[in-house]
Amino acid sequence: MPLLDARDVHGGYGGMNILNGVNMTIEADEIGVIVGPNGAGKSTMLKAIFGLLHVSQGEILLRGEPIQNLPPNKLVQKGMGFVPQEYNVFPSLTVKENLQMGAYLKPGNVKRMLARVYEFFPPLYDKRHQPAGELSGGQRQMVAMGRALMAEPDVLLLDEPTAGLSPLYMNEIFERVKEVNAAGVGILMVEQNAKQALAIADKGFVLAAGQNRFTDTGAALLADPEVAKSFLGG
Amino acid sequence: MNELVFFINNVVIAGSVTGSIYAIGAVGVTLIFSIMRFAHFAHGDMMTFGAFMVLLLTTLFPQAGAAIGVPTPLIMLPLAMVLTAALAVGIDRAFYKPLRAHGVKPIVLVIGSLGVTLMLQGLIRLFAGTGGESLYVDDRKEIFRLALPIEGVRVPVVITEPQLYLFVLTLVAVVGLHFFLSRSRLGKAMRAMSDNPDLAQASGINTNTIVAVTWVIAGGLAAIAGTLLSLDVTFKPDLSFFLLLPIFAAAIVGGVGHPYGAIAGGFVVGFAETLAVFNWSVLLRPFRDSLPEWLSLPGNLAFVGTEYKIVVPFFILVVILVWRPTGIFKGKVI
């Protein structure tokens, strides 16, 4: 049974449909990457999965159980984590407090998961008593991912985790994503840096105008001349 | 030296008293704003309501305190805090929650709270009448006169029993709030929701619980502030009219959404008020003989008359809003 299975998802804001039948499947140990031009509905799809957007048609299954239109806190309990692209930390809370908030529903987890998150992101340990708002963009992204990991999710949704980061930090974040995935967390992420992201992807979904244009393994998409020409900038 | 004692009595003690009351009130206003993003105008009336509950309970059981040797109103305060907290949660459920559910703009909630103000004041008047009432129904208000052991000082430092209770309770409330916000899981969740409500929800924090907790804290604190003010002077159904402006000034001076800023702001406004109405002529009196002949010392030398005290927080409010709208601690802009 796939970990996450979205079938023919339609949805949008206030009557305006942005998603016109998107299909996505990832298995428990996979990294799925969503790429595509601006306005294709990439981030919208993540929000629809995480219950932040009304799904008007189609279904989303988490381990076979329908979860479409459940509120976010229910989805966190069911093992889903979401890292928004912007405003993804609590700026006035310290790094440690940010992480603690991630395990709000599982207070028993805090001690054990704090140690694990510090293992994944060593820079956070040194800055644990600093307000998250004072950190650099890359470190803030680590706090955001760490916060989502605190609840021990089975699947982590990342919305453009490398947006606005320097190439150095970008590589670092991709490395961390691979490590988190290797530790048994399924990943579904939206990325602007399509080539790099598809390189670490088990599955790639190229969206355009709210529909799947290409769906294949990451490597196959990178090798496809048509995908390269239209979506990866040659 | 007598002049110095006069200064201590009329500025240091009086300023700390008003400052404490404003601080506790402003903390409530700032917490409500940081969680629900609206200026709660009915806050002054929650303070009056708390004091009214103490008055009611003290009138019903005037002997309750005598058994333990504490003034009865003080025994009744915890009960009044619970009742005021319940009222705050109830008002939210009945009036503000339906508005929030409709996704209205904050200004609608502000106007709604103005309606709650009028309703509460009417209700309190209905039962308590329009005049002033002393909360000391069966007890005597102790007044401590501390004579300073310095030669030539005839004027004692005067402090009353309720003022001492006020200082102790303010300290307890501030320290308690600090530990709640910085150590407890719920307190941190409250700060998280104030920072970023969407992310708080995405983390699984139940925002309805946080809203209720905010009202409980704000209501309980309002009861403390209202009761201690009424103990210091008297209980009046229109207390809130004299409290609302300074409390909002304090919250804005401190930086809206900053509990510590609200405490600092409360004392800034409280001391500004007392300094503005203080008769500076008294302090200058010892130097009367060395003044040039053309300069005679008037009997009363204050910035504003006592009856115009309310202009002071208003003035501070205008100055802060024009020059530093985010307040001392860089809060949000209302």
- Read off the pLDDT of residues B223-265 as tens digits, 9 standing for 90 and up: 999 999 999 888 988 888 889 999 999 999 998 888 999 999 9
pLDDT in tens, A79-117: 999 999 989 999 999 999 999 999 998 888 899 999 999
Closest residue of A to B189, CA-based?
A: A101
- CB-CB: which of A87, A107, A151 is closest to B199? A87
Residue-wise DSSP of A154-193: SEEEEE-TTTT--HHHHHHHHHHHHHHHHTT-EEEEE-SS
Which of the following CATH numbers is that of domain B2-287+308-323: 2.40.128, 3.40.50, 1.10.3470, 1.10.10?
1.10.3470
Residue B84 has pLDDT above 70, yes or no: yes
Between CA A155 and CA B17 the distance in angstroms is 55
CATH 3.40.50.300 fits A1-79+186-234, yes or no: yes
- Cβ distance B191 to A97 less than 8 Å, yes or no, reads yes
The span from the first CA to the last CA of chain B, in angstroms, equals 45
Domain boundaries, chain B: 2-287+308-323
Element (H, E) at B177: helix B161-183
CA angle, A197 then A198 then A200, to 5° = 75
B199 in A contact zone (CB under 8 Å): yes
Residues on chain B touching A151 (C-beta within 8 angstroms): 203-204
Average pLDDT of the segment spanning A1-15:
89
Residues on chain A touching B189 (C-beta within 8 angstroms): 101, 104
Between CA B28 and CA B34 the distance in angstroms is 10
Closest residue of A to B196, CA-based?
A: A90
B185 in A contact zone (CB under 8 Å): yes
- CB-CB: which of A52, A97, A105 is closest to B204? A105
Which residue's structure tokens are 């009417």? B122
The ipTM (two decimal places) reads 0.86
Q: Look up the pTM and report it.
A: 0.89
- Cβ distance A93 to B185 less than 8 Å, yes or no, reads no
Dig out the tokens for B228 from the structure: 């201690």
- Cβ distance A107 to B185 less than 8 Å, yes or no, reads yes
What is the three-class DSSP state of A133?
A: helix
**Cβ–Cβ pairs < 8 A, chains A and B:** 63
Average pLDDT of the segment spanning B49-60:
94
Please tell me the number of Cα atoms within 13 Å of B2 on its side-chain side. Answer: 8
- Cβ distance A101 to B188 less than 8 Å, yes or no, reads yes
Domain boundaries, chain A: 1-79+186-234
Residues on chain B touching A104 (C-beta within 8 angstroms): 185, 189, 203-205
Across chain A, mean pLDDT equals 91
pLDDT class for A233, splitting at 50, 70, 90? low
State the burial class of residue B25 (Cβ atoms within 10 Å of its Cβ: 0-12, 13-18, 19+): buried
- Cβ distance B191 to A82 less than 8 Å, yes or no, reads no
